[in-house]
Structure 1
Amino acid sequence: MKTSLKSFLVIIVLLIQNYTAQKRSDSIDAFITHKMKELKIPGLQLAVIRNEKIDHLSHYGLANIEHGIATKNNTVFSINSMTKAFVGVAVMQLQEQGKLKTNDPISKYITDIPENWKKITIRQLLSNTSGLPNNIDEKEQVLGEGIESKNWEIVKTLPMEFSPGEKFSYNQTGYFILGKIITQLSGVHFTKFIEDNQFKPSKLLVTQFGDSNDIIENSAGAYSTIINNDGHWINDGKLHNAYATSHSFSGQLQEFCLQQKT
Structure 2
Amino acid sequence: MDSLIISKFKADNPGAVFLVAKEGKSIYRKAFGKANLEMNIDMQPEFVFEIGSMTKQFTAVAIALLEEQGKLNFQDEIVKFIPDYPTQGNKMTIHHLLTHTSGIKDFTKMKELRSISKKDLSPKELVDFFKNEPMDFNSGEQFKYNNSGYIVLGYIIEIVSGQSYEDFIQKNIFDKLEMKATYYANHRKIIKNRVSGYHNKEGYINNDYISFTLPYASGSIMSTVDDMLKWQNAMDTNKLVSSKTKQKILTNYKLNSGEEIHYGYGWHIKEINNSISIEHGGSIFGFKSMGIYLPKEKVYVIGLSNCDCNSPTQITKDIATLFVEN
- When normalised by structure 2's length, the TM-score is 0.60
- How far, CA to CA, are the matches of 2:153 and 2:208 in structure 1? 24
1:217 to partner: Cα distance: 2.0
Amino acid at match of 2:142: K
1:68 aligns to what?
40
1:84 to partner: Cα distance: 1.0
Counterparts of 1:205-244 in structure 2, within 5 Å, are 205-225=180-200, 239-244=204-209
* 1:127 lines up with 2:88 in the alignment: no
Cα gap change, 1:93/1:151 in structure 2, threshold over 3 Å: closer, same or farther? closer
1:223 to partner: Cα distance: 2.1
* 1:51 lines up with 2:26 in the alignment: no
* 1:256 lines up with 2:220 in the alignment: yes
Aligned partners of 1:73 and 1:261 also within 8 Å: yes
2:140 paired residue among 165, 186, 190: 165
- How far, CA to CA, are the matches of 1:222 and 1:165 in structure 2? 37
Aligned partners of 1:212 and 1:244 also within 8 Å: no
2:178 aligns to what?
203
Query: Gaps (5+ residues) in structure 2?
Result: 227-326
Cα gap change, 1:45/1:111 in structure 2, threshold over 3 Å: closer, same or farther? same
Q: Relative contact order, CA 8 A, sep 6+: which one is greater? A: 2
Aligned partners of 1:120 and 1:130 also within 8 Å: yes
Amino acid at match of 1:107: V
Deviation per residue, 1:158-213 (Å, 9 max, x gap):
21111112222222221111111111111211211111111011110121111445
2:159 aligns to what?
184
Aligned partners of 1:211 and 1:245 also within 8 Å: no
Cα gap change, 1:198/1:257 in structure 2, threshold over 3 Å: closer, same or farther? closer
Cα gap change, 1:253/1:88 in structure 2, threshold over 3 Å: closer, same or farther? same
Cα gap change, 1:150/1:104 in structure 2, threshold over 3 Å: closer, same or farther? closer
Cα gap change, 1:243/1:80 in structure 2, threshold over 3 Å: closer, same or farther? farther
SS in 2 for 1:170: coil
2:282 aligns to what?
none
1:70 to partner: Cα distance: 0.3
- How far, CA to CA, are the matches of 1:139 and 1:185 in structure 2? 30
Amino acid at match of 2:223: Q
- How far, CA to CA, are the matches of 1:95 and 1:32 in structure 2? 40
1:109 aligns to what?
81
1:81 paired residue among 44, 53, 64: 53
SS in 1 for 2:107: coil
Aligned partners of 2:55 and 2:219 also within 8 Å: no
Higher helix share goes to which structure?
A: 1
Aligned partners of 1:75 and 1:220 also within 8 Å: yes
**Runs of 4+ with >6 A deviation:** none
Amino acid at match of 2:150: Y
- How far, CA to CA, are the matches of 1:127 and 1:142 in structure 2? 28
Amino acid at match of 1:258: M
Residue identity over aligned pairs, in percent, reads 32
Counterparts of 1:28-43 in structure 2, within 5 Å, are 28-36=1-9, 42-43=14-15
Deviation per residue, 1:93-140 (Å, 9 max, x gap):
111111111121111111011141651111111111111123343485
1:69 to partner: Cα distance: 1.0
Query: Gaps (5+ residues) in structure 1?
Result: 1-27, 226-235
1:42 to partner: Cα distance: 2.1
The root-mean-square deviation of aligned C-alpha atoms, in Å, is 2.7
